[in-house]
Structure 1
Amino acid sequence: MPYLQMSPIDSSFCWEDLSWFRTITQLPIILKGILTKEDAELAVKHNVQGIIVSNHGGRQLDDVPASVDALPEVVAAVKGKLEVYLDGGVRTGNDVLKALALGAKCVFLGRPVLWGLACKGEHGVGEVLNILKDEFHTSMALTGCRSVAEINQDLIQFSRL
C-alpha cells in the first residue's frame, strides 16, 4: 500500500503574519502548538488573546514534550497576560484537575470523546463527559477543593531531580 501523507505543512507562516491575520478578522486570535516559554513570550508580544499548549497529539514529531509537561513553563512565561489552555493527554477528571492546578484556564478533549462516539454514538459522548465530570468532582473532593477557584499549584507534587 502506498504511503499516504497529510497535506504539506506550510512552514513559511511566521510571527509577522499575525499582523496580516488581524486585518481579516475581528475574532480573538488563539494560537495552538505553543510548547516553550520563548514562543509564549512571543505570543504575548504579538498581543494574541490566548494560547493552546499542545503537541498536536504527539503525532507530528517524535520526542516532543507532553503538553502537561510544557504547561508550567508556558504559564509562567505569559504572567497572566493572556489565557492559556491545554490540549493533549487529558483522559480523566484528575487530568483536568492537574491541568487547572498547573495554570490552564480550560482543557480540550479529543480521544475520549471520539471513543465514546465510536462505541455508543451521541449517547457515548454524553457518558464520557459525565464520567470525566464525576472524576473531576471526586478529585476536587479528595484534594479539599470546594470550588474551581480553590484549585492551585499547591495540589501538585513535583519530583526532585
Structure 2
Amino acid sequence: MAVSNLEMHALFVLGDVRAKLVKLFQSRYVYVVEQTAEGIYMAELDTTTALVVDDKPRLELKVGDHFRAAVLPSREGGKFEVRFRDIKATIHGLGEYAYVATDLGNGVVFKDGQGILMVFAAHEALQGGLAKPLKAAVGKAAKWRKGELAFKPSE
C-alpha cells in the first residue's frame, strides 16, 4: 500500500488511532469487547503468546491470527479497518471512535453501525469477572436506549 493514496487528514487522524492501539497492545492484559443491543462478547488476548506485529510502513497492527487493524486507502480518502475473529469494523474518521479511561486501564471504542468494538488494556488482570469493568469502560462512550446506540466520540 502506498501512503500517497491516503489524504493527509486521514493519514494523521487514522494513523493516530492506530498508534494508540499499538500502545494498548504493549500491555500484558488486553481485552476485546464486541457489543450490540442484543448482547456482548468479551475475550482476553494473551500478548505474551500472540505475536504482536507493528508494521509501520504499511500502517498495520497484527496480534496473532485473531486481531488486525490497518489504515487503508478508500474513496473517501482513507479508512481504518479493525478485524477481530469474524467481526470487521470500518472507521472513516472523526466521530466513529472514542478514547476511554478508567481506574483499571485505557481503551479505544469503535462505533460500527449499531454496535461497538472496544480494545481495552488493563493495568492488572481483571479479577472477579470481566463483565462489570469492561461494561463500565464501554459505558463511558456508548449506551443503548430502546435498542438505539447513543455514542459519544472523543473528537
Give the TM-score normalised by the residue count of structure 1.
0.29
Q: Which has the larger radius of gyration?
A: 1
Structure with bigger strand share is 2
